[in-house]
């Protein structure tokens, strides 16, 4: 699947989440043959579930799959993945992570690369605008989502954050 088409699926999920009053981060997991294995969006607000981020929601919606299903797959996500979602991609052996934007938040991209995952940042204005709008409207909800009291761009090299 073309990376822009894959990201469009994730962005559709993010927009749905925003319209539901949630955090607008969406994801799509696509197999090497172009089959969509799962779609998801951050559902922390809607479901009151602290670990249902875009990527983990996508994996949950994909259901139980054999490990071979993840080989060569691509996780499309509208925002740079947090530590938890980075770990989920690594756990399942997802080969590629295509990110809509990493200007509003920079997650575990360096760690993904270090572990051999291909990381592509498309720098999507649509993804960035949606996140900036949400962060402006609901800064406390955003900070809660990434586990901080004050807005940060990245948790890398910050002292005092546990």
Q: How many Cβ atoms sit within 10 Å of the Cβ of residue 63?
A: 9
Q: Residues near 119 by Cβ (< 8 Å), separated by ≥ 6?
A: 96, 97, 99, 109, 112, 113
pLDDT value at position 93?
97
Six-digit token string for 57: 């929601």
pLDDT along the chain (162 residues), means of 10: 97 98 97 97 95 97 96 97 96 98 94 97 98 94 78 60 39
List active site positions: 55
Ordered domains of the chain (ranges, CATH): 3-146 (3.40.140.10)
């Amino acid at each position: 699947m073309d990376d822009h088409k894959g990201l469009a699926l994730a962005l559709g999920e993010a927009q749905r989440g925003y319209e539901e009053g949630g955090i607008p981060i969406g994801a799509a997991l696509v197999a090497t043959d172009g089959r969509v294995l799962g779609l998801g969006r951050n559902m922390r607000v809607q479901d009151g579930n602290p670990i249902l981020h875009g990527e983990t929601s996508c994996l949950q919606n994909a259901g139980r799959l054999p490990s071979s299903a993840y080989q060569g797959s691509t996780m499309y996500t509208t925002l740079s993945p947090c530590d938890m979602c980075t770990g989920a991609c690594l756990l399942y052996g997802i080969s590629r992570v295509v990110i809509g934007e990493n200007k509003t938040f920079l997650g575990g991209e360096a760690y993904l690369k270090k572990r051999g995952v291909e990381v592509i940042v498309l720098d999507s204005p649509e993804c960035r605008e949606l996140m900036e709008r949400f962060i402006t409207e609901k800064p406390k909800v955003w900070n809660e989502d990434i586990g901080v009291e004050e807005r940060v761009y990245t948790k890398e090299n910050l002292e005092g954050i546990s």
